[in-house]
Amino acid sequence: MHGVNLHDLLPIPYTQEVLDHVVERVSQVQDFLGRRLTLENVSSYVGQSEMTEWEFVSEVANRADCRLLFDVNNVYVSAFNHGFAAGDFLNGVPRDRVVQFHVAGHSHEESHIIDTHDHPVCDEVWSFIAPRSPISARSRP
C-alpha cells in the first residue's frame, strides 16, 4: 500500500454485517464450484470488532458449511498483537471443521509480531498443536 509491503492481508472488522457478507460470498462460490472451500484464519495487527476472531471464523465455517485450514502461528501472532489468550482461540473453533494445520515462523518486534515465515517455528507455536489437535481428538475413544 503506497509502496509499503504490509506482509499480509488487511484486516476486516469482525461485525455482523461483514459476517453476513462473507457467509454469502463463500456460499455463492461453493455453490458455483459444487464443493466446499477451506478457509484459513489470518494473522492480524490492528482492528476493532464486535466479536472475537474465533467467534467470527466459527460462524463463517458453520453457516457457510466450509472447512478450516487452521494456522496455529497466526493464532499466536494475533494473540500477542491483540492481548488475548491463544488458548481461547484454539478452544473456540469447531474442531470438526479443521481439515489441515499450518505452522510457520514469524518476526518478533518489540511491540508486535509479524507473520513473515522467515524464522523457525517457535516452541510456543509447536506446543499448541499436540494437546489440541482435532486429528488427535477424533482418534480418542
Residue of 15, 83, 89 whose CA lies nearest to 49 = 15
H/E element holding 123? Answer: helix 123-132
The average confidence (pLDDT) of the chain is: 83
Question: What are the residues facing 70 on neighbouring strands?
Answer: 101
Residue of 80, 84, 3, 69 whose CA lies nearest to 45 = 80
Q: Is the pLDDT of residue 23 over 70?
A: yes
Q: Is the pLDDT of residue 111 over 80?
A: no
Q: Is the pLDDT of residue 135 over 80?
A: no
Under the banding of pLDDT at 50, 70 and 90, the label for residue 110 is: confident
Distance, in Å, from the CA atom of 85 to the CA atom of 79, rounded to the nearest integer, reads 6
Report phi then psi at 6, rounded to 5: -90, 0
pLDDT digits (tens, 9 = 90+) for 64-101: 999 999 888 889 888 888 888 988 988 899 989 999 88
SS3 (DSSP) at 107: strand
pTM: 0.80
Residue of 51, 33, 63, 46 whose CA lies nearest to 7 = 46
User: The C-alpha cell of 25 is what?
Assistant: 460470498
